[in-house]
Amino acid sequence: MRNFRDHIILSESTVKQALVKLNDLASDAILFVADKEDVLLGSLTDGDIRRGLIKGISIENTVNEVIQHNPKFVRKGEQHIEKIIEYREGQYKILPVVDHENRIVNVINFRVLRSYLPVDAVIMAGGIGSRLRPLTEDTPKPLLKIGGKPIMEHNLDRLTLYGIDDYWVSVKYLGEQIEDYFGNGMSKNINIKYVWENEPMGTIGAVSKIEDFRHDYVLLTNSDILTNLDYEHFFLDFKKQEADLSVVTIPYQVNIPYGVLETSNGHVVSLKEKPTYTYYSNGGIYLIKKSALSYLPKSTFFDATDLMKALIADCKKIISYPLSGYWLDIGKHEDFEKAQRDLQQIKF
């Protein structure tokens, strides 16, 4: 993946230097002009330079003389996903992301990314993976490889595809290996921080240690899930329904091979011949309003289901997002082997 800084050029650079960078960018040829503090000043394309040359500008002049002022940009932390979709489906395919001081902190390329979701992601990666022994005796389960790539990296790359660039990874068992492998995320143009569990804290307890989320929405996922979930659609559904928490659910159908009687006070009121019932199980992926995380007790064992119960008790809105795509929880050897086979056939 191209480093976002390849799209940035200092305002004091020459037009010739800009041409070299634009040539290197090839089909992604657009530059964002910044000062020494990375504050966005304008944008620059081949067309801007061509028009400048026609007016008599030399290639030794600074780019300040040919830039377009007031370029389109995305503000870090903004919640307007509709604006992102409008840019993506219009003519703005490459956009700078700026912080509250207008400093460039990333560049979105919709030729590579599918969206730019205003969420923080927490990946729970502290489990022992005892059911996968001996594979997990010296390797943490998130680093076991599916198709030559660690399970957790499949997750991370899928999330990054939807423009999520702020991550917290909860680690415990052999967590040093996970931290060494992914580092701070710079190689993927993302930011990764680590939350260490001194004691097991359940499926969401470690989140109580995080105090510097950058967005108003938090996506929580287990690290051992393989899925092709459309995270943008998941987020849009969450927003549309004005939920406090949304959980991805996996539909399971149960076929009853007999006629089923429905009774009331000992009287048969209906008969269903060999009915099929659909149930929904927890898929281990959640979207949560940051405000709802105030229900988490500090540094205590707490499961995501405990949070759901607390929210329900306080009349908060929890919704189900039934997944129609692929999902696999890699918990056992059979799952691990199935994932290896499925990766050859499922489009991720």
Question: Residue 57's domain is classified under what CATH number?
Answer: 3.10.580.10
Q: Do residue 193 and residue 303 come from a single domain? A: yes
Q: Do residue 192 and residue 306 come from a single domain? A: yes
Which uninterrupted H or E stretch holds 160? helix 151-161
pTM of the model: 0.86
CB–CB of 199/104 below 8 Å?
no
Name the 3-class secondary structure at 323. Answer: coil
Q: Do residue 151 and residue 105 come from a single domain? A: no
pLDDT per residue as tens digits for the range 29-61 = 999 999 999 999 999 998 989 998 898 888 898
Question: Residue 160's domain is classified under what CATH number?
Answer: 3.90.550.10
Q: Do residue 27 and residue 150 come from a single domain? A: no
Over 80: is that where the pLDDT of 131 sits? yes
- Tell me whether residue 37 is in a domain: yes
DSSP-H helix ranges across 283-329: 304-313
pLDDT band per the 50, 70, 90 thresholds, residue 145: very high
pLDDT per residue as tens digits for the range 258-268 = 888 888 887 88
What is the span of the domain harbouring residue 16? 4-78+94-109
Over 70: is that where the pLDDT of 233 sits? yes
Query: For the chain, what is the domain count?
Result: 2
Structure tokens at 293: 């995380």
Q: Do residue 72 and residue 168 come from a single domain? A: no
- Tell me whether residue 88 is in a domain: no
Q: Do residue 124 and residue 158 come from a single domain? A: yes
Over 70: is that where the pLDDT of 221 sits? yes
- Tell me whether residue 36 is in a domain: yes
267: phi > 0 → left, psi -120 to 50 → alpha, else beta; which?
A: beta
Q: Give all strands of the β-sheet with 94-98 in edge-to-edge order.
A: 74-75, 94-98, 104-109
